[in-house]
Amino acid sequence: MLASAPRLTSGPVTRRQLVLTLALLLLIPLRALAHEAGASAGAGFLTGFMHPIRGLDHVLAMFAIGLWGSQLGMPGIWVLPVAFPLVMAFGGALGIAGVPLPGTELGIALSVVALGSVIAMNLRPPLAAALALAAFFAIFHGHAHGMELPGKTGAIAFSAGFVLATGLIHLSGIGVGLVTHLPRGPALVRVGGGAIALSGLYLAAQLV
């Protein structure tokens, strides 16, 4: 007779469980990459992976997503970092297809301002509202990546690269956000959010 399956509890998710969940998310782009072979796929993956890292605006916004998730706690700590790359991939597909999105660069800069501001003000909206805000800006980030796809680079490999890099930046934001458990941690996170927002204002000013 088969043993009954263990019951799922509603207790708090441990850090190990959270990391494993996000690690599984990061495997999705690698699985997609497996469908492309050859040097062009490898080059496309590396180009896509480096694309977010080379842009300060991208790094700040993606870091802020992880940081805000840590500030929100469960389930936002994993929902936001999972949703953002998925919606960003959709935006990337629009960019690769050549679908226009006016004000992409300004939208990216404003995402840094908005995400930094919600952290600085310690805003804790309903999860659906937080997801809507993250998804809205994810489209701008993804579209920018897709529009800058090199002509001879495989679209799947390129997209897998920038989605994986995004997930890793989210993880770094979550890691830093764990200081919220320290006595002065919440205040430090809010200060960090303010610094991100100010950086976004500077980036936006360069575009006006």
Nearest to 71 by CA among 191, 196, 174, 195: 174
Looking at residue 111, its pLDDT comes to 95
Instruction: Please check whether residue 87 lies inside any domain of the structure.
Output: yes
Looking at the structure of the chain, the number of domains it has is 1
Domain span at residue 73? 46-205
Instruction: Please check whether residue 40 lies inside any domain of the structure.
Output: no
Encode the chain (208 residues) as per-residue pLDDT tens digits: 444 443 433 344 455 555 555 544 444 444 444 444 444 444 577 777 777 777 788 899 999 999 999 999 888 888 998 899 889 889 988 988 888 898 999 999 999 999 999 999 999 999 999 999 999 999 999 898 888 776 655 777 777 777 888 888 888 899 888 887 788 889 999 999 999 999 999 999 988 7
Nearest to 172 by CA among 34, 97, 63: 63
Looking at residue 153, its pLDDT comes to 59
Q: How far apart are the first and last CA of the chain?
A: 70
176 contacts: CB under 8 Å, gap ≥ 6: 63, 66, 67, 70, 192
Instruction: Please check whether residue 78 lies inside any domain of the structure.
Output: yes
Nearest to 121 by CA among 21, 194, 33: 194
Instruction: Please check whether residue 14 lies inside any domain of the structure.
Output: no
Is the separation of the CB atoms in 76 and 114 below 8 Å? no
Instruction: Please check whether residue 197 lies inside any domain of the structure.
Output: yes
Looking at residue 151, its pLDDT comes to 61
| pTM of the predicted structure, to 2 decimals | 0.77
Task: Tokens 């989605």: give the residue.
Answer: 163
189 contacts: CB under 8 Å, gap ≥ 6: 67, 70, 71, 119, 177, 179, 180
Instruction: Please check whether residue 1 lies inside any domain of the structure.
Output: no
